[in-house]
Structure 1
Amino acid sequence: MAKKQSAKLWELAHKDKVSEYGKKYRQKKAQATVVLEDWVREKIDKVKVPNQTYGNWLRLLVEDWAKTSE
């Protein structure tokens, strides 16, 4: 979902608060970087929502897998 212009302006004006929130949010979470081959990206493009990021799509896929593997 796209942010409203007023939210974007607030974030630009309060970069320190946005940065602090991001640090607290990521404090107890693992972060990963993934590099996708073109053929994998093309297959993902066929099933994901067009405006959804690859990172979000992958996170939801892994979370779903983790829930079903219990």
Structure 2
Amino acid sequence: MLLPRGARRKANTWKVPRKSKGVAYGFGQSNVWYAQGREQHNLLDQFLNRIVSQIENYDGENWIDKYAEGME
């Protein structure tokens, strides 16, 4: 899934924490994150449950489909 720009900019909806912001989990210097440690961090477990639910229930525009149509 690739969200349209407008949907990606909704910070409260799709925000992923940064480790440097005082949270014990999240992205570090790299934009690759393996989300390990949910057993040790209750907030990480809650975040992962929320974001997975958002992804599974998203019914808006998917730009991957849009660009695939343009390639045909």
Pick the TM interval, shorter chain.
Answer: under 0.3
Could you tell me the TM-score, scaled by structure 2's length? 0.27
TM superposition score normalised by structure 1: 0.27
